């Protein structure tokens, strides 16, 4: 069965590499990412050797910036605005195509107009999506 390792993050956000073997295999195998646990361990080289582990209720003062089942969205994925911009650009181009005839504007002018409107509408949609 061998030795197993896990990394545990404390309230300060510091990560601690831990190892265990034998009798703790069953209880440690049930752990999932973001579970709160109370671990008794002793230092053994670069690792902490786990002696005992129990589940733990999330502390009231757990920092909001750290993940841990706190719900909500503490961050906005970097590509979310790009995805909204892409779909808004498509919608703006579609509306432009059905409301304008090709002889009224050249391609570059039309694209500048469509892109400017898509950027404006994306900002509006992003603000509306957060509230």
Instruction: Tell me the CA distances in angstroms from 44 to 41, 108, 128, one per residue in order.
Output: 9, 67, 52
Range in 49-58, 71-80, 103-112 with the lowest mean pLDDT = 71-80
**Tens-digit pLDDT profile for residues 18-49:** 887 777 777 777 777 777 877 888 888 888 88
Check pLDDT > 80 for residue 88: yes
Mean pLDDT, the chain, whole residue set: 80
Check pLDDT > 60 for residue 71: no
Task: Tell me the C-alpha distance between 19 and 51, whole Å.
Answer: 9
Residue 77: pLDDT band by 50, 70, 90 thresholds? low
Question: Cβ distance 17 to 46 under 8 Å?
Answer: yes
- Which pLDDT value is given to residue 90? 94
Instruction: Tell me the CA distances in angstroms from 1 to 24, 27, 44, 47, one per residue in order.
Output: 11, 14, 19, 19
What value does the mean pLDDT take over residues 69-95? 76
Task: Tell me the C-alpha distance between 118 and 121, whole Å.
Answer: 5
């Amino acid at each position: 069965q061998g030795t197993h390792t896990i990394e545990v993050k404390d309230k300060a956000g510091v990560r601690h590499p831990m190892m265990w073997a034998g009798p703790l295999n069953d209880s440690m195998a049930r752990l999932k990412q973001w579970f709160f646990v109370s671990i008794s361990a002793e230092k053994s080289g670069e690792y902490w050797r786990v002696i005992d582990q129990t589940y733990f209720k999330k502390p009231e003062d757990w920092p909001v910036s750290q993940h841990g089942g706190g719900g909500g969205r503490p961050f906005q994925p970097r590509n979310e605005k790009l995805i909204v911009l892409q779909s808004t650009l498509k919608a703006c181009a579609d509306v432009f195509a059905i409301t304008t005839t090709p002889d009224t504007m050249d391609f570059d002018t039309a694209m500048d107009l469509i892109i400017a409107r898509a950027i404006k509408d994306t900002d509006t949609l992003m603000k509306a999506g957060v509230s």
